[in-house]
Amino acid sequence: MKLQITIEGRTYAAEVEVLEDESNEALPGYLPDSANAPTTLPAGAYAPSRVAEMHSADEKLYQSPVTGLVIRVNVVPGQQLQAGELILVLEAMKMETSITAHHAGKVKSVNVKAGDPVKLHQVMVELE
């Protein structure tokens, strides 16, 4: 069977062999039946992401939780923020991450603008 895939505008062709077994047996080491899966996971195996919780210890610096691109900045220096208010939006791997205020405060500085690339843990906004 021939397949075609397009990645970033470039098209690639691949030939694939489909393996089918009339007995419908599972591959060795593969458990298709979720009933055979373990009911408990090892500690920390699938811990929820802490991306949304990343901020400095004093909670005055808002750092990038991902390497990505700034899509939108909703604050300016001197602006008063309420807890939960949207500060900015980042994009990484075609997914958007909203950065919101952890508590009320006044914006001291904004170090990024829409279209800027950011690195992991880069300080984007600082509160007074």
Is residue 75 situated within a structural domain? yes
**Domain assignment of residue 72, yes or no:** yes
Residue 31 in domain: no
- pLDDT digit string (tens) for 47-89? 433 444 444 455 789 999 999 999 999 999 999 999 999 999 9
pLDDT at site 54: 45
Average pLDDT over residues 2-25: 69
Give a yes or no: residue 69 inside a domain.
Answer: yes
Domain count, the chain: 1
Residue 41 belongs to some domain of the structure: no
Range of the domain at 78: 55-127
Look at residue 17 in the predicted model and tell me its pLDDT: 72
pLDDT at 116 over 70: yes
CA distance 80 to 94: 30
pLDDT category of residue 25 using cuts at 50, 70 and 90? low
Domain membership of residue 1 (yes or no) is no
The domain that holds 81 is classified in CATH as 2.40.50.100
Can you give the pTM of this predicted structure?
Answer: 0.56
Please say if the pLDDT value at position 127 is more than 70: yes
In a domain, residue 85? The reply is yes
